[in-house]
Amino acid sequence: MLANVEIIENSKESVDRAYDISISAKEELLVAFPTIKSFRRNVRTGLSIHILKDVYSQNNVRIRVLTPVDIQIMQIVEDLKKALSGLDIRSLKENTESSNMVVIVLADRKESIIVETKDDTKDNMYDAAGISIYSNSKTIVSSYHALFEIIWNQSQPTDLI
């Protein structure tokens, strides 16, 4: 299979591709959210770990999520951990300095998508998302994976907060 890199300019296509990549994970799914609102929006809108729990539980997918947290997110995390045994969530410092933030999705070290958050004030994922960059290039995906691991190792487990 040839390596593929795509720039997806349509926000609906960006979100839909991120969803497709998420449900394609058979071993490991890594997701990073830049803001509390981006995490909440994901959980609330149906393209969420709640909806996907049956898929992940069937395959025993290991899921690691990086996200800023608050009290409400801590409750969501507790509920998610009850439903998904392979879930591990770590706390990030919220990115509030930039209007150009991204959600990172990596599946099985084979595919990645980086989705721009165009407007974090929006409640609808399609309205909040901007362009995205998809890749199944081994070099690109492994580079994003390495960056995720660096951030993961510097983040704090949510059970210690």
Residue 127 in tokens: 């309205």
State pLDDT tens for residues 77-87: 888 777 777 88
Q: What is the pTM of this model?
A: 0.89
Domain limits for position 35: 5-160
| 159: three-class secondary structure by DSSP | helix
pLDDT at 127 over 90: yes
Q: How many CB atoms lie within 10 A of CB 126?
A: 15
Task: Give the burial class of 160: count Cβ atoms within 10 A of its Cβ; 0-12 exposed, 13-18 middle, 19 or more buried.
Answer: exposed
- The band of 143, judged by pLDDT with boundaries at 50, 70 and 90, is very high
Name, of 13-17, 72-76, 90-94, the range with top average pLDDT. Answer: 13-17
Q: Between the CA of residue 3 and those of 82, 127, 128, 138, 143, what are the distances in Å? A: 37, 30, 28, 7, 14
Query: In the prediction, which pLDDT does 94 show?
Result: 73
Total domains, the chain: 1
Q: What CATH number is associated with residue 92?
A: 3.30.870.10
Under a CB-based contact definition with an 8 Å cutoff, are residues 118 and 130 in contact? yes
